[in-house]
Structure 1
């Protein structure tokens, strides 16, 4: 019985998760189509970049798919009267074990995504974007035409010689609202050091414009600019985004430096597991008990799960106690509903004929 019910829970969740993944991957391909149209890359690079941006999105909707899978399976058991049989034939333990197996499997899945897969994907996508930007500067960038490398960064070159030397290099970086940087050089060349790409700027200047309007300029004979610096947004410079949790914890233990940012990000990575547990418990609490009521209007359980997920995200985003607040609220609500519905009730009075 446990295997049968768990199979029902998992089947719908896996099918829905796969469909949503494919749809979002196609949407990411369409959003990143400038990689092919403007930056001169092939379709394989486009598909890879879209795939590497999937883990954060998968974390967002994974627990929603699990909740919908559990809800649809319980609703099917209710409609087929199998849920009544489970309760009357002392099979309630199998129902709870099946829910526990699905919840545990979902928690392990999202923890692997948040702690290991997402950091690896962030590292790979940053390397890919750096490679695309280096290729754009060295061979694809059209002379005397402004081209956006990444939102907020615009490049312009005067020309390109046969040996890859760039003349009249100009780059404007406005990603940081506090400081605008402008790089101007009479010549430039792209060099590679392992996985890192460098722009060797010669005979130029670096100009800073502060938010207060203060202007500064530094002249140089040679300036080595990391291409990665032109592709990453300022908040992406925190190295923990590209580091898995195990490596981050080992490094913090060795250096004895547990920064508030590190602790906050570690807790944020564990929060999706609580959301999975909460949505599973809540669906079993709401739909795991049979009833004989017939209603003219039935609320789709998928809509209920989406509404709960929206509320959970709102609570987690605005709560001063951190991103795990929404999952904890779901767990507490589920336990209260289970206690109310499972409490013993006094038998009804028998009315004599």
Structure 2
């Protein structure tokens, strides 16, 4: 690519980086204010709190990254339109340079978000879960006072009968009233340990009792059961999943076993959809803003509103129009992408007949 294409790509990237930086800053402040009270109640220091917030930023930033990329492209193209530079690019037949700059920009943004979605976000999520589990383990450990009931979370009460020299507790009891069915964990002994996926309370010779709102009761007995600490200390029951793995690890495990479950394929497809969102929205913005106009007034609908509307439509379609197979998370992307391609093809006049004088004399 020539220097003009590189210049245009840097111009687009600067606009997107400014918008994305503002969004991340606001999100960081909101997360800090939201978690500060919780951290102080749990006795958590300031630096661990900041570390957890930073680890949680990649999954949060992914939710609006593609919108910032598309708005940055649209604002830069509208600035070129206002300064008549866009007109000059078309009049001097430098459309290839403009297309190259847009292609570099889209390719770089899509590659960046795919790396984050497939590698960075799973790793930071795993580290965030581990850090949260360490805080939770410390909270539970300080709450295990013999013969004293302690409410470690709203709706979660825990008590033990005593402690042994090896750290094992006796007569473990935990009652979780946060959701239906209500769960009660009972064990003759328990030991707080750390496995390869976080901290767990290893229960021995006990039972799990379930009580529903309509009075139903069931009980499951066990000789050994590993209870994830996150299930007791999270705001809601986090279930059995306590970590995440990168796409490379997931594919390597699937190749080793030869088993490709539907959930794995859907997860890989959902992560890949992040890159497709960038491409689709940027194609739509290019079709709307990459062509000069002789109008002196600004467009009736700002490009920011158009991008937000398209992103909202894509999310609605992805949520409520579900397809079968690995394309299920891509429903909205396919629909919006098809519209963007049709519009861009029409603006480029790909199938328009050539003027008569172009055929020679």
Q: TM-score, normalising length from structure 1?
A: 0.84
Q: Against the structure 1 CA distance between its residues 280 and 297, is the aligned structure 2 distance closer, same or farther, given a 3 Å change threshold? A: closer
Which of 38, 42, 49 pairs up with 1:46? 49
Distance 1:17 1:285 in 2: 22
2:271 to 255, 269, 272: 269
CA distance 1:231–1:3, change in 2 (3 Å): same
Match of 2:348 in 1: 342
Contact 2:162 2:171 survives alignment (8 Å) = no
Gaps of 5+ in 1: 348-353
| CA pair 186-320 structure 1, distance change in 2 beyond 3 A | closer
Q: 1:79 aligns with which of 78, 82, 87?
A: 82
1:146 has 2:151 as partner: yes
Aligned equivalent of 1:329, options 335, 352, 359: 335
Matches within 5 A, 1:59-74: 59-74=62-77
Hey, what's the Cα distance between the residues in 2 that align with 1:235 and 1:220? 21
Measure the CA separation in 1 of the matches of 2:316 and 2:186.
45
How many corresponding residue pairs? 342
Given that 2:152 and 2:233 are in contact with CA atoms closer than 8 Å, whether structure 1 keeps it comes out as no
d(CA) in 2 for partners of 1:333, 1:190? 55
- Aligned to 1:182, what secondary structure does the other structure show? strand
2:87·2:292 contact (CA, 8 Å) conserved in 1?
A: yes
**Is 1:310 paired with 2:312?**
yes
RMSD: 3.2
1:275–1:326: 8 Å Cα contact kept in structure 2?
no
Q: 128, 147, 152: which one pairs with 1:125?
A: 128
**Rounded Cα–Cα distance in structure 2 between residues aligned with 1:162 and 1:41:** 27
Partner of 1:156: 158
Q: Any conservation in 2 of the 1:180–1:208 contact (CA below 8 Å)?
A: yes
Secondary structure of 2:201's counterpart equals strand
Paired with 2:224 and 2:123, the residues of 1 have a C-alpha distance of 34
Shift of residue 147, structure 1, vs aligned partner: 2.7
Of 57, 70, 82, 2:60 maps to 57
Aligned residue number for residue 115 of structure 1? 118
Residue in structure 1 matched with residue 20 of structure 2 by the alignment: 17
Distance 1:104 1:209 in 2: 53
Q: Deviations over 1:167-212 (max 9, x none)?
A: 87542235664x4321246875534467743435578654233577
